Amino acid sequence: MTPATSLFTPVEADLQILADNLKQLVGNRHPILYAAAEHLFGAGGKRIRPAIVLLISRATMLEEDITARHRRLAEITEMIHTASLVHDDVVDESNVRRGVPTVHSLFGNRIAILAGDFLFAQSSWYLANLNNLDVVKLLSEVIMDLAAGEIQQGLNRFDASISIESYLQKSYYKTASLIANSAKAAGLISETSLEIAEHLYNYGRHLGLAFQIVDDILDFTSSTDTLGKPAGSDLKSGNLTAPVLYALEEKPYLEVLIEREFAQEGDLEQALALIDDSRGIQRARELADHHSKLATENISILAPSESRQALINLTDYVLSRLY
């Protein structure tokens, strides 16, 4: 499998500038918040979201260099994503992310929540300074969507009656909204036509959905070492994803186990065996493949370039994580 970072060759230098800038953007007025942010941005990660913004910026600015506003948008995108992870880890009570201790496990819940709020506030301030009302609206919507997705997931715990449509809506809020709206925002900063900006939005939307569905499949098929968390942990916490929802159509007893929240010994293992014995994982793969293809169709309308090719390759990379 190709590592994601090797797909980002056209923007490698841009990502290095981004890494240097992120720590400076947080500033060091608040030593604890600065320490928390430095820890977060130092943990690296694949930087997929800002890389997409930078690749779209380059793919839509073939005749000239990308601007400081494109770079700032990529930085804002990573700040929003990081802020959401800090809050997610508090909600999920995760002690490790990307093999590194989470902010709340190092600094406590109070600081973690404040650090997440601080990053959201900082990103909003930098967003306002782009002086582009359309871009401000797009990224402000993302921050609302992230909260809506987290609330929806919390309300739907252990609810075996939720539909695939509800699951996809929650996945859009939690994962795809940021990729879709920042992709469109990059197009707007490049002053593309509204038609192209809409294709960029749809590329990000379908890529984000494919990405989330693949993540949800890996929760059942990957080892703890690869995931950085125990396999089946989403199911155990009552977060019902595509493989489970499809399996429920074939295995009615699965609903009994979910409704009683795996309270009896062996319930979770039995549920995992039922999912494994169904077409749930296969159908979820087909769903991810469908969204990946739609992402490719939407990005293919751009003029050919190294950056466009990297964006197309990214749709294959998302699926390749399954194999």
pTM of structure = 0.93
What is the band of 21 on the pLDDT scale with cuts at 50, 70, 90? confident
- Taking only the tens place, the pLDDT of each residue in 186-233 is 999 999 999 999 999 999 999 999 999 999 999 999 765 555 566 788
CA angle 18, 317, 40 (to 5 degrees): 35
Structure confidence at residue 95 (pLDDT) = 79
Structure confidence at residue 109 (pLDDT) = 84
> If you write DSSP's letter for every residue of 111-173 in order, what string do you get?
HHHHHHHHHHHHHHHHHHTT--HHHHHHHHHHHHHHHHHHHHHHHTTT-TT--HHHHHHHHII
Burial of 93 (0-12, 13-18, 19+ CB in 10 A): exposed
- Taking only the tens place, the pLDDT of each residue in 78-134 is 999 988 888 877 777 777 776 777 888 888 888 888 888 888 998 999 999 999 999
Longest dimension (CA), the chain: 64
Percentages of the chain per state (helix, strand, coil), in multiples of 5: 75, 0, 25
Instruction: Give the C-alpha separation, 172 to 180, whole Å.
Output: 9
**In the chain, what are the domains?**
4-321 (1.10.600.10)
